[in-house]
Structure 1
């Protein structure tokens, strides 16, 4: 006997599904996301979500799109250096990514094929092409810049898998103090300094960003 399809819940949409999925990722990490948990958050049966998305992969793609939609494109002027414009775009991407540490694994593994992510890619690619950068070189540059930005955000803000907490500053200091000074003198000194002063993540990102931009062959 055929079953009656579950009716769509009034007010529910793909955008609302993706936003709820992002909220779960923010709170518990993407590994905690399930159709059942998402359905509970939206007040619907899990099966009814398939009216809006075909599978969990589509939800992960939607999470990525929701984050990319938060990237505020920087204002540009026609005579602005293209490296300045591209650096500002990467900084805007980093700002959006850091708002959602639990969702970062989804973005790091999601291939952009449309939507807001593709618009961002087109904007950056056109910026390079208009400056006379070869399209192959432009694509390589963007791949390196976005991979660097995502990796940086994962390293400094990404949620640890399965909720495992990272070491505390005190634990880092204790680890440094316990290192064999004869075998690891430089590492011991560095870790002790990090334990005392921490790391300036913004300065670290800017140094890497400047190096990658300088390596792009162009005018």
Structure 2
């Protein structure tokens, strides 16, 4: 059932997901779904869990640097979310209380706690890192079929040419430097992630 819900979200967006639409996808009457789930909210929650289930939890190595391990986990989360852009709203609003999402939360919290962070600090750090990752993915997912297409080379040149260079000289210079390639989404995410990880002070209990 949740596999079917994910297929709908991937192709049409989570907004298109309904009991009737899911029933059509499964070839059953919508009412029969209520024997398995109480409502659409449960479908959306299951959809988010299905996405989280694709994220591999790294093996815990006490000797590994916590930043390196956490960076790897967050890159894996990012890759998974970008494979399912239509499901992002469900993931972004899903309260993790059980299932694969809770397993990820436990692994990351344990990693930070073992590194010397107290539980409050670990929770704050993890929430900021995950919020950044989801927000980045939401921005990157604004492309067809669910969002606005990246500007074409000619559109980007037209935008740059139309700017008042006396008023916006820095933006004009940036667009000229950006050129035909467009944004490097990986580099964009990497810069922000590094800044956040480096901004976490070494806990007092760290070796």
Q: TM-score, length-normalised on structure 1?
A: 0.86
CA distance in 2, matches of 1:42, 1:159: 27
Counterpart selection for 2:182 from 181, 188, 198: 198
Where does structure 2 lack aligned partners over 5 or more consecutive residues?
none
CA distance in 2, matches of 1:204, 1:159: 17
Alpha-carbon distance change, 96 to 203 in structure 1, aligned in 2, over 3 angstroms: same
Alpha-carbon distance change, 79 to 68 in structure 1, aligned in 2, over 3 angstroms: same
CA distance in 2, matches of 1:167, 1:122: 37
CA distance in 1, matches of 2:163, 2:59: 49
Q: Where in structure 1 do 4 or more consecutive aligned residues deviate above 6 Å?
A: none
Say whether residues 1:102 and 2:86 are aligned partners.
yes
| CA distances 1:43-70 after superposition (whole Å, capped 9, x unpaired) | 0011111111111111111111000000
1:43-122 matched pairs, under 5 angstroms: 43-122=27-106
CA contact (8 A) 1:137 1:216 kept: no
1:200-219 matched pairs, under 5 angstroms: 200-217=184-201, 218=203, 219=206
- Partner secondary structure for residue 83 of structure 1: helix
Where does structure 1 lack aligned partners over 5 or more consecutive residues?
1-16
Alpha-carbon distance change, 211 to 68 in structure 1, aligned in 2, over 3 angstroms: same
CA contact (8 A) 2:86 2:146 kept: no
1:159-178 matched pairs, under 5 angstroms: 163-169=146-152, 170-178=154-162
CA contact (8 A) 2:141 2:147 kept: no
